[in-house]
Amino acid sequence: MSSFGKKLPIKVRSVWISDIHLGFRGCQAEALLHFLHNVETEYLYLVGDIVDFWSLQKSSYWPQQHTNVVRSILGKAKHGTKVIYVPGNHDEVMREYIGYSFGNVEIHQDYVHQTLDGKKLLVLHGDEFDAIVKHSQLIAKLGSWTYDKLLQINHYVNFFRKIFRRNYWSLAKYLKLKVKNAVNYIGSFENALAHLAMERSVDGVVCGHIHHAEVRYINSVLYCNDGDWVESCSSLVEHKNGHLELLYWAEEFKRSQQSLNKENPAPRKAA
């Protein structure tokens, strides 16, 4: 796992990203654009919640950067990258088009990817297991209304942290890792996905949904969660030798912005 620090652009075999939530104010679209512009890949998996239709029903928020993300993905599909889209719960309307292709983007219910070293990985969003693993009303709401509110609070908290030159801190992530029910939910979710992988006779699973990036073995099953582009700005990549790694892009994007600001300093106001 890495917070990054390699020469750009990076060239990998496969990339998995999920939980972008285009149309939601918390979406880190600029960081994602920087990532997409700096990665060359043979396979690109969109593992659900790419567009947040739930948020779009409440608000018409859709800045230019969100359109640019869509264009960047379609551009990769046009120029040789195999793009597989597995819809999630926030973009479940796209499940009506499973089996179709739009702009060279294939839409699937789930998909089996084979790594270069022969591992078969089942790719799915993971919301199908909500009814099984959610144990309380608090957890049932954590991924929707409550989670949205926590992210709104995050915005104000980190506004003041930025003034005092402190790094980004996620209240939502902190509570997920501290509240007992939330920790139990994450563990139950991971175990349910691992059990599904065994039932499907594959070596592992790649999912999203819970905004908690992870790569680890659960018994003999390789469990991978690629995280999100609301808080962690993370993705899962398969390198040219088949090695899997989580990349966290927030710091890389921050460095690029700082470098850009040094090269193009703001003009001083006349006295």
pLDDT tens sequence across 51-61: 999 999 989 99
Least confident of 65-69, 157-161, 163-167, 243-247: 157-161
Partners of 238 in the β-ladder? 14, 244
Assigned domain for 1 exists: no
N- to C-terminal Cα separation, the chain: 49
What single-letter amino acid sits at 89? N
For the whole model, what pTM was predicted? 0.83
Assigned domain for 99 exists: yes
The domain of 87 spans 10-263
pLDDT tens sequence across 226-264: 999 998 999 999 999 999 999 999 989 988 888 777 666
Assigned domain for 271 exists: no
Assigned domain for 169 exists: yes
User: What is the CATH classification number for the domain harbouring 100?
Assistant: 3.60.21.10
In the three-class reduction of DSSP (H, G, I as helix; E, B as strand; rest coil), residue 60 is classed as coil
Assigned domain for 232 exists: yes
Assigned domain for 5 exists: no
Q: State the total domains in the chain.
A: 1
Instruction: Return the sign of the alpha-carbon dihedral for residues 20, 51, 56, 145.
Output: negative
Alpha carbon distance 15, 226 (integer Å): 9
For the chain, helix, strand, coil in percent to 5 are 40, 20, 35
Assigned domain for 268 exists: no
Assigned domain for 129 exists: yes
